[in-house]
Amino acid sequence: MNKGIAVYPGSFDPPTNGHLDLIQRGSKIFEELVVAILRNSEKSPMFSVAERLEMLRALTADLKNVRIDTFNGLMVEYAKSIDAVCILRGIRAISDYEYELQMALMNRKLEPTLETVFMMPADKYSYVSSRLVREVAQAGGPVKGLVPDVVEQKLREKLDPAYKFHHANFVEAPEVDQNKKTSDKKRKKKA
Ligand code: PNS
């Protein structure tokens, strides 16, 4: 374990198993790892910052030296404000390298005392990205194994609001007397 705080910044829209893998690896190396969600992204996100915060908090509840936070503006300014000595980023494939190199060098120009450390997630997640997960889920494809179960559930609820209603109504509903059982159709109508 190294002394010091590292910041792992990103959009996490949504968090994937690749992100989680990197968080677990990072938490073993740094004294404290702060996963920082960018608040003022230009992109229109699928999940609100509050939703991403909640998902990441739930996913990292068992990692005692991991904290989830949000930030605005320059990442290096945020990193300095929490006394981070390091920026953690993941590199999945060579295609990530150019963008990551550019960002790391820009961050170094902005704040020479902050080092960027790259780690590789497990190779089984090397093709997993939040963008592709969103794309597959939006087209109705399966994302099991690519994102944690809690994220898969949130994706379902987000893309098919009827799922939440259906799930709450039929799975969590108390058992009813089979003779008095309301038909699915009637129950849907009532609600
Ligand atoms: O998960 P992402 O979307 O690849 O993360 C990109 C992120 C949030 C790390 C990057 O866009 C960022 O740090 N934005 C904050 C603004 C900033 O500091 N820009 C200069 C760094 S090149």
Instruction: Answer yes or no: is the C-beta of 129 below 6 A from any ligand 1 atom.
Output: no
11 lines ligand 1 (CB under 6 A): yes
Find the mean pLDDT for residues 9-25. 98
The average pLDDT across 86-99 equals 95
Q: Which helix (H) or strand (E) holds 58?
A: helix 49-59
Residues designated catalytic: 19, 43, 92, 130
Say which residue the tokens 């961050």 belong to: 107
Q: What are 74-92's pLDDT values in tens digits?
A: 999 999 999 999 999 999 9
Per-residue pLDDT, 42: 73
Which is more confidently placed, 41 or 153?
153
Residue 5 DSSP SS3: strand
- What confidence category does residue 132 fall into, taking pLDDT thresholds of 50, 70 and 90? very high
